[in-house]
Each structure stands twice: as structure tokens, then as C-alpha cells.
Amino acid sequence: MSAIRLAKKSFLNLTILAFAALTGCSGGGTLDRISDVEKLATNSPLNDDSLTPAEQDSLSDFTDCDSRLPCVWSSRDTGITITLEAVGSDSITGRLEIAYIVQTTRDTRLQLLERASAVDSTGGNYIGLLPEHGSSNVVSGTNGAFELLAGIRLTVNQSFRQATPLSIRSVARFSFEFIENSMSHKVGFLNLPLGSATGDEIDCKGSVPCTWRADNEEYNVTVILAEGLTAGRLLVHYQVDAFEDVRMYVDTGSIAIGNEGTVFMPKIHTFGDTSDYRPFESVVFADASASGVQSYFRTADQSATRLKKLTLDLSQIGTPGGGVPVFTNLPLD
């Protein structure tokens, strides 16, 4: 009887070794490929179980944004580019929203699918709704498919079913799928920051006023004062000086990060005569100025002595090339 047990045990061991060799568990297999992605996202709560089978089969298609926007993914033939423009929460529903631009080098037919997913910096999971686009430059077809001409920039808004908690600092992973003609594409991004595509950062070197200049030279944004932390609520005062007539898009997604790591979450944005927790538009005429104040939710942590980074969610409408103002090393009064 003991000889039979020994034979069964030997057969089982050989079977396990053969299975390990076939699946590549000893090296170069799926687990190793997932490990490679985790190396790209060292600050992301990724683990072997967090990737879907489709993502495991296309790990090389992930782009590491390295906490910067815009962030660009390209298809393997470089004929399609996806550019992430903004990551944030809907001001009314609180749901996670990600905006991106689709552009192709060829006339083609695309279909956006309801297959988006995301993981935030705290490990929270998000399931995407059907993405929306509002362009008059595409010809709609059946089943949500549409014709897209070469060179046309199509803006897409991806909303999710879940709201974002105030504690999140970034989106660790965002992935979705679309179909071009009959070919399925899997798109993935790692380490997405909260906020919008930015222009050049300006280092304030611990002093104010501090001026950021739009890339198109049509306006400047100057931070006058960052104050109120000792009272528990951060306030950032700034001014826009226009050299041409500029129409500004003002949102509350102005993320501020303290030098010790505290993330200040925006509450209400005031610009000119308008104050709102929702996005709004405002015009600043040439050779005129407009003042603004971004207020933030109260925080119990008052240990920050300066702002390591401030991204004002303020951008020009209708004219590309302005960017979004980003300030670093701002003093706190």
C-alpha cells in the first residue's frame, strides 16, 4: 500500500512540475509581466488580482503618465493617439470623470465601448458608463459607431458610476476599449494626477506675487496671496491680466498640495463677479484685469508651511496653446 501512495505522490509532483513549465511560472510568465507594470506604477495599489484578463494580455499598451497631464497613448501602428486632458470629479454628482482626445492619421470608423475601469490611489474601484462625445465633426452610424476624419480632434468624456472620496490623491490606473473598424484596441494609463492639462510650471521660490505666463502670450495669471490655513481653510487669491480679449473657463478643480503632503480639496471658485462650485465662463477684455479666489474645504492638518504645488483650474476657451497655470513653492501666510 505504501508503494502505491509513493507512486501517486511522485506522479503528482511530476504533474505540478510539468504544469509550472507550461505556464511559465518559473520565469517570464503572466506574474512576471504584471510585476513589470507594477514597477511602472510604484505608487499604485496594483496587485495581480487587480488586472482583468484583457489587461493582462496587453500590458505593453499601458502608458505611465508619471503624475503629469497631458498624457498620450498611441496605437502600435501610431495611427491613433489618445491624449488625457483632465481627471476629476463632477461638481454636482461627485462621480469620477476623465476627459480625453482621440485623433487619427487616417479616415476611420470608431466605436466607443462601455468597458472603462479605474482604480484610485486608495484602492477604490470605478466602473465606467458609456463615454460621451459632443462633436459636430463626426458622422454617427449604428450601434454608437461613427466616422472620424484624419486630423480631427474628438473630445470624449468618460464618466463612472462611483463618486470619488475627498481622500484620493490620484488615479492609479485607467483603462478602456474601443473598436476601429473590426479591430479592438485596449488602452491603459497609469499614475494619473487630479487636474487638467497644464502649461509650464513656474517656481515661485517662496515669494509672492508670482506670475505664470500663458504659452500663447495672451494673458498672465499672478498669485497674490495664499492664506487662511491657520483658520483651517486655505484661500488662494490671484489676478488675470489680459493682453487680448480672452474667454476663460473657470472650474473648482484647483488642486493644492502642501509641502508635507496634504492635499487641499477645492470648494468654491470666485472669478470676477461670479462665485460657484460648478464650472462657469467669464470674459476678460484686452488690457483689463480680473481677480479670483479659490477656496478649499476645511482641514484639520495645519502643518503645511508652503504649497509644494498649486494647479489653478483656469483655461482659455476657443484658443489653443494657453495651458493651465501651475505654481510651485508658494509661501503660506
**Measured distance between the N- and C-terminal CA atoms of the chain, rounded to whole angstroms:** 84
Which option is the CATH number for 30-196: 1.10.10.10, 2.60.40.2550, 2.60.40.10, 2.60.40.4070? 2.60.40.10
Please provide the CATH number assigned to the domain covering 201-331. 2.60.40
Neighbours of 178 (CB within 10 A): 21
Predicted TM-score (pTM) of the model is: 0.51
Q: What is the pLDDT of residue 88?
A: 78
- pLDDT for 55-100, tens place per residue? 444 445 789 998 777 899 999 888 999 998 888 777 567 788 898 8
Q: What is the pLDDT of residue 15?
A: 44
Q: What is the pLDDT of residue 66?
A: 83
Half-sphere exposure of 215 (CA within 13 A, CB side): 15
The mean predicted confidence, pLDDT, of the chain is 77
C-beta neighbour count of 212 within 10 angstroms: 24
Percent of the chain at pLDDT > 90 equals 32
Residue 44 Cα distances to 50, 62, 84, 192, angstroms: 11, 13, 18, 10
Domains 30-196 and 201-331 share a fold: yes
Centroid of chain to Cα 195: 7
The answer to whether residues 259 and 321 touch, using CB atoms and an 8 Å cutoff, is: no
Domain ranges of the chain: 30-196, 201-331
pLDDT for 238-293, tens place per residue?
A: 999 999 999 888 877 677 888 887 878 888 999 999 998 877 889 999 999 999 99
Return the pLDDT at 91.
56
CA–CA dist 134, 57 (Å, integer): 32
- The predicted structure's pLDDT at residue 233: 84
Whether the bond into 70 is cis, omega within 30 of 0: yes
The residue whose grid cell reads 490655513 is 229
